[in-house]
Amino acid sequence: MPVGAAGGVGGRWRQPRDRPAAGRGARRRQRRSDTTLGVGAASEHELLEVAYEAARAAAGELIPRFGAAAEGVRTKSTPTDPASEADLSAEAAIREVLARRRPEDAVLGEEGGETGEGALRWLVDPLDGTVNFLFGIPAFAVSVACEDAQGTLAGIVLDPVREECFAATRSGQATLNGCPISGSERGELATALVATGFGYDARVRARQAAAVARVLPRVRDIRRFGSAALDLAWCACGRWDAYYERGVHAWDVAAGALIAARAGLEVRDLPAAGEEAAGLLAAPQGIVEELFALVVG
Closest CA to 251 of 111, 90, 119: 111
Contact 255, 110 (CB under 8 A): no
What pLDDT was estimated at residue 78? 60
Contact 205, 198 (CB under 8 A): yes
Secondary structure of residue 93 in the 3-state scheme:
helix
pLDDT in tens, the chain (297 residues): 445 433 332 333 444 344 333 333 333 333 233 333 445 557 999 999 999 999 999 999 999 999 875 666 555 556 555 567 888 999 999 999 999 999 999 999 988 899 998 999 999 999 999 999 999 999 999 999 999 999 999 999 999 999 999 999 999 999 999 999 999 999 999 999 999 999 878 888 898 999 999 999 999 999 999 999 999 999 999 999 999 999 999 999 999 999 999 999 999 999 998 888 999 999 999 999 999 999 998
Alpha helices in 40-164 (DSSP H): 44-62, 85-101, 130-134
Query: Which CATH number fits the domain 21-180, given the four candidates 3.30.70.270, 3.30.160.110, 3.20.20.70, 3.30.540.10?
Result: 3.30.540.10
What pLDDT was estimated at residue 274? 86
Q: Which residues make beta-bridge pairs with 194?
A: 222, 242
Rounded CA-CA distance 224/198 in Å is 8
What pLDDT was estimated at residue 79? 58
Closest CA to 155 of 147, 209, 163, 94: 147
Domain extents for the chain? Answer: 21-180, 189-296
Rounded CA-CA distance 124/144 in Å is 5
Rounded CA-CA distance 123/204 in Å is 25
Q: Which residues make beta-bridge pairs with 243?
A: 195, 282
Contact 111, 88 (CB under 8 A): yes
Dihedral of the alpha carbons of 36, 40, 46, 49, in degrees to the nearest 10: -10
Rounded CA-CA distance 114/136 in Å is 30
What pLDDT was estimated at residue 205? 85
Q: CATH fold of 189-296, please? A: D-Maltodextrin-Binding Protein; domain 2 (3.40.190)
Q: Which residues make beta-bridge pairs with 106?
A: 121
Rounded CA-CA distance 135/260 in Å is 28
Q: Which residues make beta-bridge pairs with 122?
A: 107, 146
Cβ neighbours of residue 237 under 8 Å, at least 6 residues apart?
A: 166, 176, 181, 182, 183, 263
How many Cα atoms occupy the beta-carbon half-sphere of 22 within 13 Å?
Answer: 2
Alpha helices in 63-197 (DSSP H): 85-101, 130-134
